[in-house]
Amino acid sequence: MPSRREHFAALVERQPGNELFRFSLAQALVAEGRAEEAVAHFRTCAEGKADWMMPRILLGKTLLGLGRRAEAKPWLEEALRLAIEQHHEEPEQELRALLRDLLA
């Protein structure tokens, strides 16, 4: 039985424009400790949908985990803007804390 990563990698290969498959692949890569590989997939999702908050959050967190703080900041700021606009209170609180820590 294929792993979750292998499953979504095959789906992305068949439908490279499907952002939901790509998003799921990125999450599976992070879960397997392959964060560097996930970055491009999260970025594609974030750039593909201007109002999709989650890939921005996960891209920012992934970049933070890789020590790429300066690169993470604009993604987290954009995610915060979307969280506020879309009335997502829990992500808003989490993003404010992440950004506060980032600036400290």
Neighbours of 1 (CB within 10 A): 4
pLDDT band of residue 82 (cuts 50, 70, 90) is very high
pLDDT band of residue 103 (cuts 50, 70, 90) is confident
CATH 1.10.760.10 fits domain 4-103? no
Question: What pLDDT sits at residue 104?
Answer: 84
| The model's pTM | 0.95
What are 16-56's pLDDT values in tens digits? 999 999 999 999 999 999 999 999 999 999 999 999 999 99
Dihedral (Cα; 44, 48, 50, 56), 10-degree rounding: -20
List the alpha helices (DSSP H) in 3-88.
Answer: 4-14, 19-31, 35-48, 53-65, 69-85
Question: What pLDDT sits at residue 48?
Answer: 94
* Residue 66 neighbours by CB under 8 Å, 6+ apart: 35, 36, 39
